[in-house]
Amino acid sequence: MEATYDRASEVKAFDELKIGVKGLLDAGVTQIPRIFHHPHLNLTDSNLLLSSTTMVIPTIDLKGGVFDEYTVTRESVIAMIRDAVERFGFFQVINHGISNDVMEKMKDGIRGFHEQDSDVRKKFYTRDVTKTVKYNSNFDLYSSPSANWRDTLSCFMAPDVPETEDLPDICGEIMLEYAKRVMKLGELIFELLSEALGLNPNHLKEMDCTKGLLMLSHYYPPCPEPGLTFGTSPHSDRSFLTILLQDHIGGLQVRQNGYWVDVPPVPGALLVNLGDLLQASCYCDMIQTVRLIQIYICLCDLFCSL
């Protein structure tokens, strides 16, 4: 009953369990708690969802990042990136230097963390912002009007690289390996973006765009009432750049021309999304060079923000 619903108390009770939504599912819930309900959610409005065939995200072959001897190839890649960010604000990359083996091990490791015994996960459960490694459900659980059906393992991987012993045993080593490769890829993408803007290749790097790396590893367990909640609410990324690794299930959507559009996963590809900070930087510093880069909303499985 409406009169008996005390959201603050129910949020606190859920958080203190320290088991996340995966723990609720393991406990056998058949109805999701009221705190996860999104009252205005309407998934039946077909007018707001375009077929995935109506929009194709640009897929750019980075040629392994080796361009020094192939000036024409580099210029071609830069031209494709320029077109992608002006038209869409995001693009997918292949031949990006991160092997399929590393990406699969990363997904397996994160899935393993979220699916291990809740007593093991609880050791990392915290909302202490000073902690390098944090596991919880919904970073904005206490401030958002509705929670999302999602758990997250988050960790700052740069500029200060965490010690192996501080990371979860089941995925710590692959997190470090994946982060190292993502940092290298991020530096390359910032070079190409700088050149796409007609600037020195090191321009964005010299603005310290490549110094920090936050790894957010999201997990969306099956939801008994998916029509009542989101996995991730509509949002823009508060970063310079997001490099997103999807699993095979999909679920990613972006907003294009007022419509939500499905973005199916491409085997071996990573999705690059320009974030709020890069949008602001480009608009303020280079408004005469490129039009305002658009921000799109992602429903993501695993991503790294630089």
Average pLDDT over the chain reads 84
Q: How confident is the model at residue 94 (pLDDT cuts 50, 70, 90)?
A: very high
- Residue appearing with tokens 């709020």: 276
Stretch 255-277: mean pLDDT: 82
More confident residue, 272 or 260: 272
Q: Is residue 171's pLDDT more than 50?
A: yes
More confident residue, 21 or 39: 21
Tokens standing for residue 230: 């989101």
The pLDDT tens digits of the residues spanning 204-230 come to 899 888 889 999 999 999 999 999 999
More confident residue, 235 or 192: 192
Whether residue 121 contacts residue 153, with contact meaning beta carbons closer than 8 Å, is answered with: no
What integer pLDDT is reported at residue 36 of this predicted model?
A: 97
Q: Which of 28-37, 70-79, 116-125 has the lowest mean pLDDT?
A: 70-79
Q: Long-range CB contacts (< 8 A, 24+ apart) of 74-78?
A: 77/192, 78/192, 78/195, 78/196
Closest of 111, 114, 86 to residue 21, by C-alpha: 114
- Residue appearing with tokens 């024409």: 72
Q: Is residue 52's pLDDT more than 50?
A: no
Q: Which of 44-48, 63-67, 102-106, 298-302 has the lowest mean pLDDT?
A: 298-302
What integer pLDDT is reported at residue 287 of this predicted model?
A: 33
Percentage of the chain lying above the pLDDT 70 cut: 81
Beta bridge partners of 259: 256
pTM of structure = 0.86
Stretch 6-12: mean pLDDT: 96
DSSP string, 185-216: HHHHHHHHHHHHTTS-TTHHHHTTTTS-EEEE
Q: Which of 141-145, 260-264, 273-277 has the lowest mean pLDDT?
A: 273-277
Q: What does R_g of the chain's alpha carbons equal in angstroms?
A: 20
What integer pLDDT is reported at residue 276 of this predicted model?
A: 60
User: What are the CA-CA distances from residue 287 to residues 82, 191, 240 (Å)?
Assistant: 15, 19, 17
Domain ranges for the chain, please list them: 5-303
| Bridging pattern class, strands 151-158 and 59-61 | unpaired
Q: Is residue 1's pLDDT more than 50?
A: no
The pLDDT tens digits of the residues spanning 64-86 come to 776 655 567 899 999 999 999 88
To the question of domain 5-303 being in CATH 2.40.160.20, the answer is no
